[in-house]
DNA sequence: TCACCAAGCTAACACGCGTTAGTACCGCGG
DNA sequence: CCGCGGTACTAACGCGTGTTAGCTTGGTGA
């Protein structure tokens, strides 16, 4: 119950040096396996033993200070309310992978206050943002951030990350619906989401996919989050687009909202309307009927993001998108 | 498309000093409003102007190096897969609040590798963990971490954070079910979750709540994630506990799983089984029937967590739990 | 005139690390 | 005996802060 502050001081490389009876420099050479330096086996053994005994771990701050940039990656969270299960999965994955790459992930919510103050607090090696203005990106670069990557924005980097991915998603969705005989499609999204970059981008990809296959352009279906409103929005949308028989939902919530509205109207899926959602989740699997979803391979996606960022941090050319696209269909009963 | 590295160097306090025509020390005095130091109005003005012109932001690393600890709070993520919508909300809230408190939040996934190496990468001022072993906590304290807080563990700090909260949740759940006439209750949880500290802890709280009200102890209902298995588990559970008429679900997924199993068995909620879930979500509101849930006030919770941690970091006594408990019922149709 | 004080500012150190430029030692060919 | 090269190590610097001790300058009382 006490708020007592431990006075324990963590071990420094000087402590290790003292215990091993060598200089601090030698400790650094041993622990970093500095090439072109010859250390006798006996000395190396003593240093390692001392380090282990003191549970020595180098200070990231001091290291960053010397090198000029830290090993932390600043991740801007998506707009409020969109930290959902699937995004959570990717973040979890990213955390592990960055860890393995020797980087640590710092998370900040996306607020509109002067960006400088935010990244000043960490001096990140790279910034991974959900959606990034061009001038923000440029300002970050000018302040020494080595990698600036956005998931959805107009920055070139962004397309590397999610652009092709979004295209794959749209492709899988349309493919599944057309193979079931649906040609007139809709794009369903809930709440204020339709204003965000992600859904704009995905809607655009969907449009391109449809025109490239010679299908009519998809029709936007904007649903409120409450069940009652969903039914109303659904019936007016059907009245305006009588031919539409299949809908691509933006996420699990949108798919569930469509389902809920249909239930109120006495419609059944897929008989009256077929649904393909994006980002599989437990809620989607447990819905009635269980939802057919496009699953994003979070591991592939996360791995690629980490590969791009580590490359940028090291000044190497960024890798090309992996061949395995990472978007696959999970067939259930809503198509 | 180029991975070019910007050569731009960020401004340091020395740059500001040069531009303002004063010493670096004076710059530091002005920018930190160091008390007991007298700076002329004119000098102060020049320094502030120079700092603004250069868009100067102090280096967090250098500051941390001097002070001995950083301003970052290390947040251990819950075990894989449990980063759900509501937890996401809290994390989002935490990020904003820590930001306002001048702390930055670093996220690490919970892996079982030597903890030392993890927190060495950030030298955190505090650690906020989902579940923490006592010896891990002690080791962190010894290594200079000022605040060690766990959400669910046996650490005293943990009880400050979520202990009373869990108790409130259990209280609200039981209250709602008993007021609807249900006295024989169950506790539903999915997947491997029943092994984790959170659900153990909540089950325990539920048990205490029931005995304190003179009700029989709740019966654990463990559901697999797939719909089919849910139906089977549900019917054997009912066979073993024929009197049980109400169930407290651990989260949205558990509530949906119960619902899905009931659907397969031809049961209807609340007629055949009443359900109260925890942590309201959009999926719960869109279920059939819409689920009655206990909503955790994420803002109150997050605010309290931040208050405790900032107090610990500053060496002040931690505040008492706020009066508003932050757990309230969201009435829908499953009770 | 001298001592003294406050105001306003600066030199210099510490923080913990990586790294460059060295130093001491030793064996060996000339 | 001298020079040379390789091995094994160390002194010292810089990274950008915050902070302590001290330095000048001008004014004031004795």
pLDDT 10s digits, A76-133: 876 666 666 677 778 888 888 888 887 888 877 766 554 545 555 667 788 887 766 6
What residues contact residue A49 under an 8 Å CB cut-off, 6+ apart?
A: A20
Q: CATH 3.40.50.2300 region(s) of chain B? A: 72-157+299-320, 163-298
- Chain-chain contact of B95 with A77 (C-beta, under 8 angstroms): yes
Confidence category of residue B6, pLDDT binned at 50, 70, 90: very low
- By C-alpha distance, the chain B residue nearest A12 is B143
H/E stretch holding B39 reads: none
**Interface contacts A/B by beta carbons within 8 Å:** 218
Nearest neighbour of B120 by CB, restricted to A60, A252, A259:
A60
Q: Is the pLDDT of residue B154 over 70?
A: no
Q: Return the residue in A91, A285, A286 with the most chain B beta carbons within 10 A, the one to mutate for interface testing.
A: A286
Give the residue among A232, A278, A235, A238 at the shortest CA–CA distance from A256.
A278
Are the C-beta atoms of A187 and A221 separated by less than 8 Å?
yes
Give the model's pLDDT for residue A119. 54
Rounded distance in angstroms from the CA atom of residue B37 to the C1' atom of nucleotide C8: 9
- Chain-chain contact of A317 with B3 (C-beta, under 8 angstroms): yes
- Chain-chain contact of B123 with A256 (C-beta, under 8 angstroms): no
Q: Return the residue in B282, B299, B321, B333 with the most chain A beta carbons within 10 A, the one to mutate for interface testing.
A: B282
- Chain-chain contact of B3 with A285 (C-beta, under 8 angstroms): no
A 10 A CB-CB count for B208 gives: 14
Rounded distance in angstroms from the CA atom of residue B311 to the C1' atom of nucleotide C11: 36
Most confident option among A38-52, A98-112, A143-157, B269-283: B269-283
Q: Class for domain B163-298, per CATH?
A: alpha beta
Comparing A136-145, A222-231, A272-281, B165-174, the range with the smallest average pLDDT is A136-145
Q: Which nucleotides of D are covered by protein (CB under 7 A)?
A: 7-12, 14-21
Domain B13-58 has CATH 1.20.1070: no
A 10 A CB-CB count for B100 gives: 12
Nearest neighbour of B3 by CB, restricted to A88, A281, A316:
A316
Q: Is the pLDDT of residue B329 over 70?
A: yes
Q: Specify the CATH architecture of the domain A68-160+300-322.
A: 3-Layer(aba) Sandwich (3.40)
Q: Is the pLDDT of residue A147 over 80?
A: no
Nearest neighbour of B146 by CB, restricted to A5, A105, A123:
A5
Chain A residues whose CB is inside 8 A of the B139 CB are: 55
* B62 CB-to-strand C distance under 7 Å: yes
* Average pLDDT for A176-205: 84
Rounded distance in angstroms from the CA atom of residue A16 to the C1' atom of nucleotide C27: 32
Q: Class for domain A163-296, per CATH?
A: alpha beta
Give the model's pLDDT for residue B155. 52
What percent of chain A shows pLDDT beyond 70?
79
* B65 CB-to-strand C distance under 7 Å: yes
- Chain-chain contact of A123 with B156 (C-beta, under 8 angstroms): no
Dist. CA B10–CA B8, nearest whole Å: 6
Are the C-beta atoms of A205 and A213 separated by less than 8 Å?
no
Q: Residues 56-75 of chain A: which lie with beta carbon within 7 Å of strand C?
A: 56, 58-59, 62-63, 65-67
* Average pLDDT for B91-111: 80
* Average pLDDT for B72-87: 72
Q: Class for domain B72-157+299-320, per CATH?
A: alpha beta
Per-residue pLDDT tens digits for A201-233: 789 989 999 999 999 999 999 998 776 789 999
Q: Strand B185-190's sheet: what is its strand order?
A: B219-223, B185-190, B246-249, B274-278, B292-296, B327-330
User: CA–CA distance from A205 to each of A132, A249, A328, B89, B160 (Å)?
Assistant: 19, 13, 16, 29, 48
The CA R_g of chain B, rounded to the nearest whole Å, is 26
Give the model's pLDDT for residue A152. 60
Per-residue pLDDT tens digits for A298-331: 788 788 888 888 887 777 777 776 666 678 899 9
Q: CATH 3.40.50.2300 region(s) of chain A? A: 68-160+300-322, 163-296
Residue A233 token pair: 């929005």
Dist. CA A208–CA A227, nearest whole Å: 31
* B13 CB-to-strand D distance under 7 Å: yes
Dist. CA A79–CA A117, nearest whole Å: 19
| Chain-centre distance for alpha carbon B182 | 31
* Average pLDDT for A28-55: 85
Minimum-distance nucleotide, CA of B40 to C1': C8
Q: Which nucleotides of C are covered by protein (CB under 7 A)?
A: 7-12, 14-21
Rounded distance in angstroms from the CA atom of residue A20 to the C1' atom of nucleotide D2: 37
Q: Is the pLDDT of residue A164 over 80?
A: no
- Chain-chain contact of B10 with A92 (C-beta, under 8 angstroms): no
- Chain-chain contact of A104 with B121 (C-beta, under 8 angstroms): yes
Comparing A127-131, A291-295, B105-109, B120-124, the range with the smallest average pLDDT is B120-124
Rounded distance in angstroms from the CA atom of residue A36 to the C1' atom of nucleotide C30: 29
Per-residue pLDDT tens digits for B133-144: 667 777 777 666
User: CA–CA distance from B199 to each of A45, A331, B129 (Å)?
Assistant: 46, 31, 16
- Chain-chain contact of A61 with B58 (C-beta, under 8 angstroms): no
Token pair 């102090």 is at which residue? B58
Q: CATH 1.10.260 region(s) of chain B? A: 13-58
Q: Is the pLDDT of residue B314 over 80?
A: no
Q: Convert chain A into a string of H (helix), E (strand) and C (coil).
A: CCCCCCCCCCCCHHHHHHHHCCCHHHHHHHHHCCCCCCCCHHHHHHHHHHHHHHCCCCCHHHHHHHHCCCCEEEEECCCCCCCCHHHHHHHHHHHHHHHHCCCEEEEECCCCCCHHHHHHCCCCCEEEECCCCHHHHHHHHHCCCCEEEECCCCCHHHHHHCHHHHHHHHHHHHHHHHHCCCCCEEEEEEHHHHHCHHHHHHHHHHHHHHHHCCCCCCEEEEECCCHHHHHHHHHHHHHHCCCCCEEEECCHHHHHHHHHHHHHHCCCCCCCCEEEEECCCHHHHCCCCCCEEEEECHHHHHHHHHHHHHHHHCCCCCCCCCCCCCEEEECCCCC
Confidence category of residue B251, pLDDT binned at 50, 70, 90: confident
Chain B residues whose CB is inside 8 A of the A95 CB are: 77, 107-109
Give the model's pLDDT for residue A215. 95
Give the model's pLDDT for residue B80. 61
Are the C-beta atoms of B313 and B144 separated by less than 8 Å?
no
Pairing of strands B185-190, B219-223: parallel
Confidence category of residue B229, pLDDT binned at 50, 70, 90: confident
What percent of chain A shows pLDDT beyond 90?
31
Confidence category of residue B324, pLDDT binned at 50, 70, 90: low
Comparing A130-144, A167-181, A222-236, B105-119, the range with the smallest average pLDDT is B105-119
Dist. CA B106–CA B70, nearest whole Å: 11
Are the C-beta atoms of B314 and B286 separated by less than 8 Å?
no
Shortest Cα distance from B163 to chain A (angstroms)?
Answer: 13
Rounded distance in angstroms from the CA atom of residue A147 to the C1' atom of nucleotide D4: 48
Confidence category of residue B4, pLDDT binned at 50, 70, 90: very low
């Amino acid at each position: 119950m006490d708020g007592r502050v431990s006075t324990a001081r963590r071990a420094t490389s000087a402590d290790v040096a003292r215990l091993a009876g060598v200089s601090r420099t030698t400790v650094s050479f041993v622990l970093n396996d500095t090439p072109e330096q010859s250390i006798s086996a006996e000395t190396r053994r003593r240093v390692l033993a001392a380090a282990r005994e003191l549970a020595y771990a180098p200070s990231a701050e001091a290291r960053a200070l010397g090198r000029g940039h830290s090993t932390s990656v600043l991740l801007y969270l998506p707009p409020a309310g969109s930290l959902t299960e699937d995004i959570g999965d990717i973040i979890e994955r990213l955390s592990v992978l960055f860890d393995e790459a020797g980087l640590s992930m710092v998370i900040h919510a996306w607020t509109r206050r002067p960006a400088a103050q935010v990244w000043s607090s960490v001096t990140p090696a790279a910034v991974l943002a959900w959606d990034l203005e061009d001038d923000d990106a440029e300002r970050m670069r000018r302040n020494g951030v080595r990698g600036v990557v956005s998931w959805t924005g107009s920055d070139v980097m962004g397309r590397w990350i999610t652009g092709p991915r979004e295209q794959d998603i749209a492709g899988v969705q349309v493919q599944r619906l057309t193979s079931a005989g649906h040609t007139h499609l809709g794009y369903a999204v809930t709440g204020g989401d339709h204003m965000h970059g992600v859904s704009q981008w995905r809607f655009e990809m969907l449009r391109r996919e449809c025109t490239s296959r010679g299908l009519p352009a998809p029709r936007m279906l904007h649903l409120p989050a409450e069940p009652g409103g969903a039914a109303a929005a659904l019936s007016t949308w059907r009245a305006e687009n009588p031919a539409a028989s299949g809908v691509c939902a933006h996420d699990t919530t949108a798919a569930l909202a469509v389902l809920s509205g249909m239930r109120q109207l006495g419609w059944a899926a897929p008989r009256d309307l077929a649904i393909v959602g994006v980002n599989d989740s437990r809620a989607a699997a447990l819905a009635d009927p269980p939802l057919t979803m496009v699953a994003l391979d979070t591991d592939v996606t996360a791995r690629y993001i980490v590969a791009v960022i580590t490359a940028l941090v090291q000044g190497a050319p960024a890798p090309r998108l992996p061949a395995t696209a990472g978007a696959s269909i999970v067939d259930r009963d809503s198509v």
